[in-house]
Amino acid sequence: MSGRILERGGLVVAGATVSLAGTGVRTLSGPDGRYRLTGLREGRYRLEAAASGRGPAAIPLHVTRAGEILRRDLVLDAVRLPEVLTLVERAPAEVMRHVLRRSDLARAGSLPAALSRVPGVFVKAFGAGGAREVSIRGAGPEQTLVLWGDERLLAPGGGAVDLASLPAAGIDSVEVITHGASHRFGSGALGGVVRIHAGGAGGVTPRHFQSAFELASPGARAASAGLTLPLAWGALEVAGG
Q: Which CATH superfamily is domain 97-206 in?
A: TonB-dependent receptor, plug domain (2.170.130.10)
Q: At 112, which helix (H) or strand (E)? A: helix 111-115
pLDDT reported for residue 238: 39
pLDDT reported for residue 44: 92
Q: At 104, which helix (H) or strand (E)? A: helix 102-108
67: left (phi over 0), alpha (psi -120 to 50) or beta: left
Phi, then psi, of 9 in degrees rounded to 5: 115, -10
* CB contact at 8 A, 56 and 76: yes
Q: Domains of the chain: which residue ranges?
A: 2-76, 97-206, 210-241
Q: Please give the single-letter amino acid code of residue 17.
A: T
Hey, what CATH topology would domain 2-76 get?
A: Immunoglobulin-like (2.60.40)
Q: 2-76 and 97-206: same fold?
A: no
Q: Longest C-alpha distance within the chain, in Å? A: 114
* CB contact at 8 A, 52 and 93: no
The CA distances from residue 66 to 40, 45, 154, in Å, are 6, 13, 84
Alpha helices in the chain (DSSP H): 102-108, 111-115, 182-185
User: Which of 63, 58, 38, 40 lies closest to 48, judged by CA?
Assistant: 58
pLDDT reported for residue 163: 83
Phi, then psi, of 61 in degrees rounded to 5: -135, 130
CA 97 to chain centre: 19
Per residue of the chain (241 residues), what is the pLDDT tens digit?
899 999 988 899 999 999 999 888 999 999 999 999 988 889 999 999 999 888 899 999 998 888 788 899 999 988 776 777 776 665 555 558 889 898 888 888 888 888 889 988 888 888 777 788 888 888 878 888 888 888 888 776 666 788 887 777 778 899 988 887 777 877 778 888 988 888 654 455 554 443 322 222 333 333 333 333 333 334 334 333 4
CA distance 236 to 86: 52
pLDDT reported for residue 223: 35
What Rg do the C-alpha atoms of the chain give, in angstroms? 36
The CA distances from residue 196 to 140, 148, 168, in Å, are 19, 5, 10
